A and B are shown apart, each in its own frame.
Chain A
């Protein structure tokens, strides 16, 4: 980041939420970079930026789309990069219909399932599997996903059952970018209406300010200069969150910023090691290294699973090797070629097993037990009331945390007790609390936002009964296995056959974390530690707990524990910690050189081809096969890594190119399109389709949605509310509201409103206000400030209210929880809730106590005419007839 010439921070309040990392932005600024902050509020990040751009929450696709249009209309794209390294020249199927053709829908929308059939999005003459996102897409009850287009179109009798994935064909390209169905032209047409005037009307960003941003970004991109984009949950926590990021990826690919020093897109993850918690996942739909979790297909075996997902080309082509090595790590000697390496032991998805669906199942009594490990959904998840009602209907709940969080005491002091909806004595849930060890009381690794693994060493023993998650999980497994020992039931074999033999040390039996790291790194057949994921094999001879981490214990050395000071090594600092994969610090860095292997400029030289030595070299580990020359052409029949040409930097992609248009992998469109948030006071100016047709809604009496746009009753909730963190507190507050030195820095919940809104609603600075939605009513102190501006959008003034979400009933400083106001409505690709924008009302004074609070909410629901159907509609425009599925059962 320090090498960037321009940095745009959007969907992120980096100085407040990532202050240590923000030091690098300040370093770039000290070196002359322009820093632009796009945010609904003027925050501590804006205070040190060169430009603050106020934007209506939920409209970043319009803003970024405006920048894309600006680049395309003015021909400011980095043309050589775009033609060589992106799929701009690729020609699309003639079946494809864009949102411009269908008033906001893409071709293939199926209203009953609220899903798209992506068949019409594919390349002409070729099928490409996705490297990410929606992959293993077999039939599954409830999830309503169709059999993948890939299988349907290319699975023919003579190919079914053959070894490896079906041949997918060669995409047709037009390097002149003139063909009407080439991606470049489709992109131009798609974003043609995203003009600066439209951006002003939809986003509230004055056209003149938009123009200054566009010029700053365009002038700082190209051969000699690079621009970086930084985002965080201000982008991901939307029903179109993934598409926000896609728009930035399109923009950065057009400008040639991906894979270049000071360029790229930096995703700021929200907690310490949350990157690690998706790499080696605690998520229901992925396995370590982002291998998809298999669905409960009929007769599906390992080969079928791999065929559905492995690309023909690119390093996902080796998915079988990654999967087999993982299975060997988990089931060791029990996993053999004869039993498909215990592939059948893996649990299967039968539908939506996401956290929010699980909570609804809890309320219905379908879920008996719940483990909450360092998670406090009573405060931290959308629709707090729904979370607590779920907990009240469990048989048992285990909470592992430093202290009694609101999730541990929901039965005693939750808002439902105060409102008398629930009575403590009627709640049957048995709650177990296990104190957790802090990070200084155990050894292990953090994987933080820049994919960097850093080891931390235990400094002190955990006090009394506090134990690490590793201790808890290991010994729980050990005890369960002991109870099941000797069982002849087939169902018990997956647990009993696990390799569960980590050595324990010390008096409390703490497992050796380094031994776990060694298993993650993996071994070859002789037991030697592996060095890199290209050594993984699909014949059972290698073991590896997570293919992208392969190499973290290269040579038997704990690489994440390395701490060579920055002053003793290059500016890339490869000897501090270890980054995945293979200690590459910048992904896709082959793109920092032109197709011939020479840096685009001296100033931005990063990795280049040394013809004499016959290898790639430079400041970082090349993200490319080190001895593959730039002019390499794959032989006939080459697959996976071998099929990547010498001038194709995007080695994970099925066609080796950055995808401006995504023919596969996304649930809600191959291109980003502006939709209004699920709850919005405004109609969609661009299309009849109001919001994301594929967004996940959960119809439930405790999860009512509010009317939007021009719907009857939308005016009952006329203001836009956005939730966020402040530096002083951490997420749900369990680690900050209980610590005196942090608690005193922000001792009470507050909301931020503009003077104009305060005047309109009679709010007094420093006094109380009540904020109401169809879910709940909460109170907060009022901070009247210029930093939250009213916006002028679509011909009217729109007021915003800002609300930190840290507070709850327990701790040294307490207050109402902001997330009680939110409904559960999710992005369909990654099931993240829309917490960054809802509508609400605000009134002066404290909220009603007891059952009167519920009456207030019911009164609002009645005035807005809210029913079970409100806000749940998928398509709000006519859906064209679906083409008949050839070959489907």
Chain B
């Protein structure tokens, strides 16, 4: 299937799965996320992921903080003094006595919820919510660097860690451009979202998609999802939400597009996503080529000086 002229990549086929099922993944439409965290809970229940009771983070309603070995779905909450399409936020107050400072409408920095005494209560506010997950990249750096083969590409096009093979070397952890895969301290091995591989085999959808009450998390064949997502972005832009965009959907991006992609309502950085992720092994071939050329140049230089030395010896005056 072709969307916007681009074919959905087929990483399962590329690693040698013959006759494999369609590539599946997630389309997470964050514009309808209500931040309920059913996805976090469903994932942990199905996969028996350990709990991590941390102190209150004070980061809005996000006490999970980040994706990790013990968090495979993470809901983010971003409070911003910006508008969202035609939404009327209301919390912009009626005529309070105004100070002399003026809100220039610049995005505010600092942690969400941090006190900003000097800033004026402006006329704009929005609360963005998004459920983050492993991207199941087309070109997956974690997979590329794994020395044991614990990480592998499944027939569904997803990336899964086999916990009985992982030796805890940790190479995959810095390789991931999104900071997803992580090591469990008490266990030594790495863990991440499996896209519920054990459910896919039985024809079931992943636990998070099943639990999501607003269908913000949509599961299905990736090319269908890509089509649906494009229609949804167009619909939102027509409704005045000009900041709506897709993230991870484009097969020409630095990871070849992702199996789990998103509809975002702002720049990726606002959600803590890298704006231009690259699979860290992407430049390896050209690096080797450069190295080869450099090596060749060194060899040529050494050979030249060796030959020159031998010639030079013969023209010595004696």
Binding site for B on A (CB under 8 A): 15-16, 19-20, 22-23, 26, 42, 44-54, 200, 204, 206, 209, 212, 726-728, 740-748, 750, 755-756, 758-759, 764-766, 781, 783-792, 797, 812-813
Instruction: Tell me the bound Cα distance from A346 to B214 in angstroms.
Output: 47
Q: A15-B35, A765-B115, A781-B58 are in contact. List 10 more A-B contacts (CB 8 A).
A: A15-B34, A44-B35, A52-B89, A209-B88, A727-B36, A742-B41, A744-B64, A747-B54, A755-B115, A765-B58
Instruction: Tell me the bound Cα distance from A745 to B75 in angstroms.
Output: 10
How many A-B contacts at CB < 8 Å in the complex? 157
Chain B neighbourhood of A787, CB < 8 A: 79, 91, 125, 127
- Interface 0/1 of B44-69, CB less than 8 Å to A: 11000001111110101101100000
Contact B91 A42 (CB under 8 A): yes
Known interface pairs A750-B56, A783-B113, A812-B53; A51-B88 also in contact (CB < 8 Å): yes
In the complex, the chain B residue whose C-beta lies closest to that of A792 is: B94
Contact B90 A53 (CB under 8 A): yes
B38 at interface by CB-CB < 8 Å: yes
Contact A47 B34 (CB under 8 A): yes
Chain A min CB distance to B9 (Å):
30
Q: Give chain B interface residues in 206-230, CB to chain A under 8 Å.
A: 213-215
Chain A min CB distance to B59 (Å):
9
Contact A747 B125 (CB under 8 A): no
Instruction: Tell me the bound Cα distance from A831 to B94 in angstroms.
Output: 35
Chain A neighbourhood of B87, CB < 8 A: 49-52
Contact B56 A748 (CB under 8 A): yes
In the complex, the chain B residue whose C-beta lies closest to that of A750 is: B56
Chain A neighbourhood of B34, CB < 8 A: 15-16, 19, 22, 44-45, 47-48
In the complex, the chain A residue whose C-beta lies closest to that of B45 is: A741
- Interface 0/1 of B116-129, CB less than 8 Å to A: 11000100011111
- Interface 0/1 of B247-259, CB less than 8 Å to A: 0000000000000
Contact A741 B94 (CB under 8 A): no
Instruction: Tell me the bound Cα distance from A49 to B52 in angstroms.
Output: 32
Chain B neighbourhood of A49, CB < 8 A: 87
In the complex, the chain A residue whose C-beta lies closest to that of B125 is: A786
Q: Which of A19, A51, A797 touches B213 (beta carbons < 8 Å)?
A: A19
Contact B115 A789 (CB under 8 A): no
Chain A min CB distance to B68 (Å):
12
Contact A20 B44 (CB under 8 A): no
Contact A52 B214 (CB under 8 A): no
B314 at interface by CB-CB < 8 Å: no
In the complex, the chain A residue whose C-beta lies closest to that of B119 is: A755
Contact B125 A766 (CB under 8 A): no
Instruction: Tell me the bound Cα distance from A52 to B124 in angstroms.
Output: 12
Instruction: Tell me the bound Cα distance from A790 to B53 in angstroms.
Output: 33
Instruction: Tell me the bound Cα distance from A209 to B55 in angstroms.
Output: 39
B93 at interface by CB-CB < 8 Å: yes
Q: Give chain B interface residues in 1-49, CB to chain A under 8 Å.
A: 31-38, 40-41, 44-45
Chain A min CB distance to B108 (Å):
10
Q: Which of B36, B81, B215 touches A786 (beta carbons < 8 Å)?
A: B81
Contact A744 B54 (CB under 8 A): yes
Chain A neighbourhood of B79, CB < 8 A: 785-787
Chain A neighbourhood of B104, CB < 8 A: none
Chain B neighbourhood of A20, CB < 8 A: 213
3 closest Cβ pairs, A-B complex: A740-B51, A52-B90, A766-B58
Q: Mind listing 17 A-B residue pairs with CB under 8 Å?
A: A22-B34, A26-B32, A42-B90, A44-B34, A47-B34, A742-B41, A743-B51, A744-B52, A744-B54, A745-B40, A748-B55, A750-B58, A787-B91, A789-B93, A790-B93, A792-B94, A792-B95
B114 at interface by CB-CB < 8 Å: yes
Contact B96 A792 (CB under 8 A): yes
B86 at interface by CB-CB < 8 Å: yes
Instruction: Tell me the bound Cα distance from A181 to B87 in angstroms.
Output: 43
Contact A51 B121 (CB under 8 A): no
Known interface pairs A52-B88, A756-B121, A786-B91; A813-B53 also in contact (CB < 8 Å): yes
Chain B min CB distance to A43 (Å):
8
Instruction: Tell me the bound Cα distance from A743 to B55 in angstroms.
Output: 11
In the complex, the chain B residue whose C-beta lies closest to that of A200 is: B94
Known interface pairs A200-B94, A741-B41; A747-B35 also in contact (CB < 8 Å): no
Contact B35 A784 (CB under 8 A): no
Q: Which of B38, B60, B126 touches A785 (beta carbons < 8 Å)?
A: B60
Q: Is the interface of B mostly helix, strand, loop or mixed?
A: loop
Chain A neighbourhood of B35, CB < 8 A: 15, 44, 47, 727
In the complex, the chain A residue whose C-beta lies closest to that of B32 is: A26
Contact A766 B56 (CB under 8 A): yes
Known interface pairs A47-B127, A741-B41, A785-B79; A747-B91 also in contact (CB < 8 Å): no
Q: Which of A726, A786, A790 touches B61 (beta carbons < 8 Å)?
A: A726
Chain B neighbourhood of A15, CB < 8 A: 34-36
Contact A743 B53 (CB under 8 A): yes
Contact B126 A741 (CB under 8 A): no
Contact B36 A741 (CB under 8 A): no
Q: Which of A22, A26, A784 touches B113 (beta carbons < 8 Å)?
A: A784
Instruction: Tell me the bound Cα distance from A728 to B32 in angstroms.
Output: 18
Chain A neighbourhood of B45, CB < 8 A: 741
In the complex, the chain B residue whose C-beta lies closest to that of A36 is: B88
Q: Which of B38, B115, B215 touches A784 (beta carbons < 8 Å)?
A: B115
Chain A neighbourhood of B60, CB < 8 A: 783, 785
Chain A neighbourhood of B89, CB < 8 A: 42, 46, 52
Chain A neighbourhood of B214, CB < 8 A: 19, 22-23, 26
Contact B53 A44 (CB under 8 A): no
Chain B min CB distance to A768 (Å):
11
Q: Which of B31, B36, B54, B129 touches A19 (beta carbons < 8 Å)?
A: B36
Known interface pairs A22-B34, A756-B121, A764-B115; A52-B56 also in contact (CB < 8 Å): no
Chain B min CB distance to A220 (Å):
16
Chain B min CB distance to A7 (Å):
14
In the complex, the chain A residue whose C-beta lies closest to that of B216 is: A26
In the complex, the chain A residue whose C-beta lies closest to that of B116 is: A755
Chain B neighbourhood of A813, CB < 8 A: 53
Chain A neighbourhood of B116, CB < 8 A: 755
Chain B neighbourhood of A789, CB < 8 A: 90-93, 121
Contact B38 A19 (CB under 8 A): yes
Instruction: Tell me the bound Cα distance from A745 to B117 in angstroms.
Output: 29
In the complex, the chain A residue whose C-beta lies closest to that of B122 is: A786
Contact A765 B113 (CB under 8 A): yes
Instruction: Tell me the bound Cα distance from A741 to B42 in angstroms.
Output: 9
In the complex, the chain B residue whose C-beta lies closest to that of A749 is: B56
Chain B neighbourhood of A797, CB < 8 A: 96
Instruction: Tell me the bound Cα distance from A15 to B214 in angstroms.
Output: 10
In the complex, the chain A residue whose C-beta lies closest to that of B42 is: A741
Known interface pairs A741-B51, A765-B114, A766-B58; A727-B94 also in contact (CB < 8 Å): no
Chain B min CB distance to A617 (Å):
33
Instruction: Tell me the bound Cα distance from A242 to B52 in angstroms.
Output: 43
Contact A744 B91 (CB under 8 A): no
Chain B neighbourhood of A750, CB < 8 A: 56, 58
Chain A neighbourhood of B125, CB < 8 A: 42, 786-787
Chain B neighbourhood of A785, CB < 8 A: 60, 79, 113
Instruction: Tell me the bound Cα distance from A792 to B52 in angstroms.
Output: 42
Chain B neighbourhood of A54, CB < 8 A: 90-91, 93
Chain A min CB distance to B77 (Å):
9
Chain A neighbourhood of B61, CB < 8 A: 44, 726, 746
Of A19, A22, A742, most buried by chain B (CB within 10 Å of CB) is: A19
Known interface pairs A22-B213, A755-B115, A791-B93; A44-B36 also in contact (CB < 8 Å): yes
Of A200, A745, A755, A786, most buried by chain B (CB within 10 Å of CB) is: A786
Chain B min CB distance to A830 (Å):
30
Contact B51 A744 (CB under 8 A): yes
Known interface pairs A206-B94, A756-B121, A792-B95; A728-B37 also in contact (CB < 8 Å): yes
Contact A740 B215 (CB under 8 A): no
Q: Which of B56, B81, B96, B129 touches A44 (beta carbons < 8 Å)?
A: B129
Chain B neighbourhood of A209, CB < 8 A: 88, 90
Contact A759 B117 (CB under 8 A): yes
Q: Which of A23, A740, A747 touches B56 (beta carbons < 8 Å)?
A: A747
